[in-house]
Structure 1
Amino acid sequence: MVIDSHQHFWVYDEERDSWITPEMEKIRKNFLPADLEPVLKTNGVDGCVVVQADQSNQETEFLLQMAESNDFIKGVVGWIDLRADNLYDRLEVCSQFEKLKGFRHVVQGERDGFLEQPDFIKGVRQLTAFNFTYDILVYPTQLEASYIFAKELPNVRFVLDHIAKPYIKKGEIEGWAKDIKKLAELPNVSCKVSGMVTEADWYNWKNEDFTPYLDIVFEAFGANRILFGSDWPVCLVAAEYGAMKDILATYVAKLSKDEQKKIWGDNAVKFYSLD
């Protein structure tokens, strides 16, 4: 089974979705299951995990409604206030939704020190009581803090989104590589190979631009802890789905069939406990 472990849906709202800048005009519109399903079929993808793009309870409800109506949506990574006093009770309610697999906070948009907050750490720790996962969304400058954060929570299952958004367009790799390798030392952290094209030159990237970064990720995490993700529709600003998927397909062609099977879907099924 091939699983896209990272994509989004939204009904475009100019104010709420202000992160979609004018230069990203191509995605300043609605993206819903009916738009994605034929794309997945065309590219040989059997199912997907939809991830929050807005930090609200309404966002989680919106994603769950679509997941319940579309079998190809295998899991939901929603948002919840992980610092709320009544978090445990809210997680207990959330646990009733079979397709709700985990949560994410847009830490890349937060101030330095956000991951060090005791109330946030306490909240993430509570995810284990209900077998929920946590997606780490950070920039390279936040990787060191992510290591300290994840090390303090060894029982939480973490996955790093978008290989931490290295500065591919600039060709910068050394600091990112050092911190990625450090984070990968923690056995409870996996990594999504996703979102790379948006960190490259949107109009002039080549498959080879990603090879040095993929070399580091595969050396650090190994085939057992790497998940394929598209970051659709965000990826569309730089690449169509097939072109984006081909970057990884070309790279993993040298691996064994078993390793490829893990990366394309088995690891996602295991990490998110997908049916």
Structure 2
Amino acid sequence: MKIDAHQHYWDPARGDYGWLTADLKPLYRVFGPGDLKPLREAANIGRTVVVQAAPTVEETRYLLDLARAEESIAGVVGWVPLDAQHAPALLEELVQHPKFKGVRPMLQDLPDDRWIETAPKEAAIRKLIELDLAFDALIFARHVPSLLVFAKRYPDLRIVVDHGAKPPIRDGARGWQPWADGVAQLAALPQKLHCKLSGLVTEAAPECDETILKPYVEHLLEHFGAQRLMWGSDWPVLELNGDYAGWHRAAQALTGARGNLEKSGMDAIFGGNARAFYRL
């Protein structure tokens, strides 16, 4: 079964999406399982991993409520205040829901680029490890040094880097570094971090094509390999600069063409790796 390892559902009326304003007109509406169903079925995607989009526990509970009623949701990556004393107890509560699979602090939006290095409570991270929960790292290249410190401090924590570490594709050659070196450093960590092949279209200029995306996909494949990459749509954010079917086709073409990946490698990227990493 193919799995979309990264997508979102939301309702702006809930009021806790600080980044989601009426200025983002294509995104400023309710997006739910019924909206995604025809898109994922057309791409033969059977299950998805829904990822938080608001830094609140209330939104995590909202997503878990959706998951209770929606078979296609295989797992939920929520939000927990990892810098709070009550974080371990909250994790113990949330993990009682069988589809709660991990957490994601929204590192890219925090004013302190070193937050992940300095703020999380030791007890909170140890509880993630104890409960066998995953950690999604939403970063830019500037966060890599602190994420390296964090990952080395907790070698038993399962970490996945979201959106290929968000390369500034729209900047062309000027944006290649330090992103490229950061990817290599993260991929070389001994605990073998995973990475999501997602979000690249959003980081590119309008009307990007496979030629523009190719060097970034190849770089991610070179360093993470087919066994540590997982495809995600980042829908509906994807709608800002693309569409579900188009990104799915492009990702398949770019990964299949690079080194002529065998079926086992494609199966891993488009389902197997997400299933194993998130314990789906």
TM-score by length of 1: 0.95
Asked if the contact 2:12/2:20 (under 8 Å) is kept, the reply is no
How do 1:75-154 residues align onto structure 2 when only pairs under 5 Å count?
75-110=75-110, 111-117=112-118, 119-154=120-155
Q: Report SS of the residue matched to 2:171.
A: coil
Please point out which of 191, 194, 202 is paired with 2:195: 191
Q: CA, structure 1 residues 59+14, in 2 after alignment: closer, same or farther (shift >3 Å)?
A: closer
Asked if the contact 1:5/1:48 (under 8 Å) is kept, the reply is yes
- Structure 2 partner of 1:44: 44
Amino acid at match of 2:63: L
- Structure 2 partner of 1:62: 62
Q: Report SS of the residue matched to 1:102.
A: strand
The CA deviation at 1:98 is: 0.4
- Structure 1 partner of 2:255: 252
The CA deviation at 1:22 is: 5.6
Asked if the contact 1:121/1:149 (under 8 Å) is kept, the reply is no
Amino acid at match of 2:245: G
How many angstroms apart in 1 are the aligned matches of 2:204 and 2:8? 20
Structure 2, gaps ≥5 residues long: none
- Structure 2 partner of 1:181: 184
Asked if the contact 2:75/2:100 (under 8 Å) is kept, the reply is yes
Asked if the contact 2:11/2:29 (under 8 Å) is kept, the reply is yes
Q: Deviations over 1:101-153 (max 9, x none)?
A: 00000011111221121544542232011111000001111112211211111
Q: CA, structure 1 residues 129+8, in 2 after alignment: closer, same or farther (shift >3 Å)?
A: same
The CA deviation at 1:174 is: 2.5
Asked if the contact 1:191/1:221 (under 8 Å) is kept, the reply is yes
How many angstroms apart in 2 are the aligned matches of 1:87 and 1:18? 22
How many angstroms apart in 1 are the aligned matches of 2:29 and 2:58? 19
Number of aligned residue pairs: 273
- Structure 1 partner of 2:168: 167
Asked if the contact 1:124/1:134 (under 8 Å) is kept, the reply is no
Amino acid at match of 2:213: F
- Structure 2 partner of 1:158: 159
TM-score by length of 2: 0.93
Q: Report SS of the residue matched to 1:9.
A: coil
Q: CA, structure 1 residues 197+118, in 2 after alignment: closer, same or farther (shift >3 Å)?
A: closer
Structure 1, gaps ≥5 residues long: none
Q: Report SS of the residue matched to 1:39.
A: helix
How many angstroms apart in 1 are the aligned matches of 2:97 and 2:38? 26
Q: Deviations over 1:135-188 (max 9, x none)?
A: 000111111221121111100000000011111001121211111100001234
The CA deviation at 1:59 is: 0.6
How many angstroms apart in 1 are the aligned matches of 2:93 and 2:195? 28
- Structure 1 partner of 2:2: 2
How many angstroms apart in 1 are the aligned matches of 2:98 and 2:192? 22
Asked if the contact 1:108/1:138 (under 8 Å) is kept, the reply is yes
How many angstroms apart in 1 are the aligned matches of 2:23 and 2:214? 26
Amino acid at match of 2:128: L
How do 1:189-268 residues align onto structure 2 when only pairs under 5 Å count?
189-202=193-206, 204-253=207-256, 254-268=260-274
The CA deviation at 1:21 is: 5.3
Q: Deviations over 1:39-88 (max 9, x none)?
A: 11111101100000001111111000111101110000001111221222
Kindly report the root-mean-square deviation, in angstroms, between the aligned alpha carbons of the 2 structures: 1.5
Q: Deviations over 1:215-237 (max 9, x none)?
A: 11111111110000000000001
- More displaced 10-residue stretch of structure 1: 161-170 or 171-180: 171-180
